Structure 1
Amino acid sequence: MEIRKLERITVCDIDKFGLNGFRTHRVLQVERNKSDIYFDCSISEVELEKEYIKVWPLDDSTLNYYNEIISKGMSFGAYDSDELVGYILLSEMSWNKSLWIDYIMVADTYKGTGVGSKLINKALEIGNTKYRVLVLEVQNENYGAIKFYQKLGFNIDGVEFSRYSEKENEKDVAFIMKYKFE
């Protein structure tokens, strides 16, 4: 397995990965409590009665967005021989010295083999040189990803209630997770 700079990504690359999304039987449910002057929230693990499947559509504008990020030179692919089996798209926010994981994906047949950890470790290696935090956003329903990131040292640092919907009580909530460099 080799991690190297990603030059470009195509629909064919992504189509070979399998599900462009996630499956889960557990979610982190967020309850928001608010008044006129404050709010707080509680997070609890909830077992679902049936499997929840989330699929993200892949269209030309998404692919163009990915390749725009890749063109900045901070994105990497995991290759088994010459086959792309995972990738991580990174971007920097120089104004606050943060490095963001815009997207990470591992082919279904390579999940659980360490590919995702290798990609995150590459981001940590880069981030440790000149950034104060490595940041990502993940849906509260993407339980497996949240647990994966926590295992690698990320913590939930914020909650965004309207990232996916303008409805106040929508169940899709964004967690901002951070890995703070020493």
Structure 2
Amino acid sequence: MEIRPLDREIYAGKTFTACYRTNGYYEIRPSETGFQMDYVPFAEPTERSFDDVFFGEWLEDPIAFGAFEGDKLIGYVEGSIEGWNNRFRLSNICVLDFSERSRGVGTALMKTIEQAAENTGARMLILETQSCNENAIAFYKKNGFEIVGFDLYAYSNDDPERHEVRIEMGKKLH
């Protein structure tokens, strides 16, 4: 496997599908002292997916890297500096094929983008995940991220009922 920068000329605007499997979700609910977060297993394992685009137009001068086996793209990471608060937003990290997961691809991509973020002078890495993406949450925690916030209704008015609450995770760089 080789990690190398992705060429914006080649990849910009191309779409990909990200998918994950999950056995449960983190339920976030109000409590007397603020909020409480508890893990709840699903009755059956669930697979979720969404379509996205490389080098999204909404990103400020994005940086992206791919993990390649020969010429085959097996993983992808992308981020950009948020100039207004000097944080580096990791907008995508994805190992595209289930068979390539748990082989160190995601860790190699994370180390590469973290170094790129440090090189920009950003004070923090920040990312978004969903309360039902338990494997991603565990991966981010393993890589030094902590939960820094959440939005109960980021995607729809039914996010808590759909068990898909937006969670923000961050890692201080400096």
Is the 8 Å Cα contact of residues 30 and 44 (structure 1) preserved in structure 2?
yes
Q: Does 1:82 align with 2:71?
A: yes
Contact 1:69 1:91 in 2 (8 A): no
CA distance in 1, matches of 2:128, 2:167: 6
Cα-to-partner distance string for 1:44-89 (whole Å, 9 max, x where unaligned): 1112211122121x3xxx43x6453789351111111121110011
Q: Distance in 2 between matches of 1:5 and 1:166?
A: 38
The alpha carbon displacement at 1:137 in A equals 0.3
Name the % identity. Answer: 28
Match of 2:167 in 1: 175
Structure-2 separation of matches of 1:100 and 1:168: 22
Q: Displacement, 1:166?
A: 2.5
Higher helix content, 1 or 2: 1
TM-fit CA distance, 1:5: 1.1
For residue 140 of structure 2, give the secondary structure of its aligned residue in structure 1.
helix
Aligned to 1:46: 40
- How many residues in Structure 1 have an aligned counterpart in Structure 2? 167
Determine if the alignment matches structure 1 residue 96 to structure 2 residue 85: yes
Q: Secondary structure at the match of 1:120?
A: helix
Q: Which runs of 5+ in 2 are unaligned?
A: none
Alpha-carbon RMSD across the aligned residues, in angstroms, is 2.3
What TM-score, normalized by structure 1, do the two folds share? 0.82
1:148 counterpart (121, 139, 149): 139
CA contact (8 A) 1:22 1:55 kept: yes
C-alpha separation in 2, matches of 1:146 and 1:84:
23
Superposed, 1:1-182 pairs within 5 Å as: 1-7=1-7, 8-9=10-11, 10-11=14-15, 14=16, 20-33=18-31, 40-56=34-50, 58=51, 62-63=52-53, 66-68=55-57, 72-106=61-95, 107-129=97-119, 130-167=121-158, 169-170=160-161, 171-182=163-174
CA distance in 2, matches of 1:161, 1:82: 40
Judge conservation of contact 1:5–1:77 (CA < 8 Å) in 2: yes
What TM-score does the superposition give when structure 2 sets the normalisation length?
Answer: 0.85
Q: CA deviation at 1:112?
A: 0.6
**Deviation (angstroms), 1:26:** 2.2
Relative to structure 1, the CA distance from residue 165 to residue 2 in structure 2 (aligned partners, 3 Å threshold; closer, same or farther) is: same
Is the strand fraction higher in 1 or 2? 2
Alignment deviations for residues 127-181 of structure 1 (CA, whole Å, 9 cap, x no partner)? 2230110000000000000000000000001011111113485332111000111
* Structure 1 residues 160 and 70, CA gap change in structure 2 (3 angstroms): closer
Rounded to whole Å, the distance in 1 between the matches of 2:41 and 2:153 is 24
Distance change (3 Å), C-alpha of 1:90 and 1:169: closer
